[in-house]
Chain A
Amino acid sequence: MSRELKFVEALQEAQDLCLERDPSVYVMGLGVSDGAAMFGSTKGLVEKYGPKRILDMPVSENAMTGVALGSALTGMRPIMVHLRLEFAMLAMDQIVNQAAKWHYMFGGQASVPMVIRMVVGRGWGQGAQHSQSLHSWFAHVPGLKVVLPATAYDAKGLLISAIEDNNPVIFIEHRWLYNMTDKVPKGMYRVPLGKSNVLLKGNDVTIAASSYATIEALNAAKELEKEGISIEIIDIRTINPLDEEPLLESVKKTGRLIVADIGWKHAGFAGEIVSRVVEKVYQYLKEPPIRITLPDVPTPTTRALSNFYYPLPSDIVSAVKKLLGKAAESKPDIKPEDFLDVPYLEFRGPF
């Protein structure tokens, strides 16, 4: 049965169902069992499963990731949660040197069924260290699966697949998706890892995107539809392993590619997508591809600057028009004092 659920509720439900079904699943993270419950994504779980399985932990990200790994090697399925992605960086040794390699370097004898959830912050002045999406880093490392859901439906189905997967999965959740709603069936269902999704069918321009950039691409597509421009959106829900077929097929049809990403441009995921397309279906391209990303500077705190840091749906609209040789509309008049630091006006800090 479908009902509307928020993205955050879908995450909670996925974990709840897996915890209920499989006693080897447990959740750990700083604050997973506190009153705020990771922005609500672990709400009610400690009451149902107790403080052992919903484990609050010392601020020791590196060792705790190692503990999770050691437990995964010996029969458990840990879900580790970081309220901001940046805290996972303290555990890069355990994630990159150990978890990613364990299966391969021991000749396939052991596996690491483990999910690391990381929230990408944005808005209300998150600043340089509460806002980074380093999915490109993680995707660069062989042995890590990297998943970025954009809808509540996918959030639930992908998280269940990630928990059931026998590999380390980096699960990246954009904070601005948390309150967005979607039709979400009750009960268990799986969205397979490593499958891109044609989220919107169209003929004129292909937009490859993931996470919150997918939502912005959808918004741009709605605008463009009014002008009779038809956009195809490929939601790259798993960036490693990457399912490139739907993307290549789409570019063969449209001949035009935009990649919208929530990360930086240099040496990043958007560049990887462009490379794949250029290497494999170059002859179909009618125009050079365009990347819409963050500028290569750290995230500023004041909205007077962050208003110009994050791309807007209007940037996607302009890029589409450029590819189609249409007159670009005049840039929206953004003022430093505008409240572009929130997804909607009710979204408040301080946290």
Chain B
Amino acid sequence: MSTPIKVLVEGVGPQGDAWKGMLQEKGFLVQSIEEAGDGLDVQFALEVTNSDLTIKRQRVQKLDQMLPTGIPLLVTTLAVTATEVASWTRHPQRVCGFGTFLPLEEGNLIEIAPALQTDPSILAQAATFFSALGKETEVVEDEVGLVFPRILSLIINEAIFALIERVAEPEDIDQGMKLGTNYPFGPLRWADRVGLDEVYSVIDGLHREMKEERYRPAPLLRKMVLAGWLGEGVGRGFYTYEIEKEGNYAKQS
């Protein structure tokens, strides 16, 4: 049996625990900065914070200082470009972007986005790493929110604008999109599953990056994030969820 690959995972918000869980399940040895201490002999480091870019920057800079220079630093780029994250570090060539939305076990594809500064060997290692998780990969150019999180977030944003304008009830918006277009989930229910903070991170990140009205976040989305109504994970989003058993929620209404 081969020695398990050691991975350092950092990240506040829903993606931190999700990535730790998935990597452990796939046989990786997962550590946090605290657990790793001074002897950082990991082969990969992941930084997966999306909702707070100040924290993300601190974590990325700390990892960059602690890790040997050749270790790939793989960062989620839902709210910021990989190029910008790389610019925060002293070793930008080892930074590579990636990302998808939760739940991680449902999607079978991970998008990888190299920064302008990313070394080709780091990109190759990133692709190998995600393939080892049993995921297909697509390498796309570096832009906030990649492809899937960007498109889904804008669908959700439009559904929220329609909700704000009282065009229809949440259930009718979701039912319309499921039955009229065959989407796997209605957009508001989907937002609850992904986490409203994650969706907001993508739209706000695009708005900040592109400086276009097109990417204006729906005000109700921002308010719900501020209120802590982040979706299924906390029991309340566009719908409310009753705790079934610890850590699991069932849709209530």
Q: Do A and B bind each other?
A: no
Residues of A whose CB lies within 8 Å of any CB of B are none
Residues of B whose CB lies within 8 Å of any CB of A are none
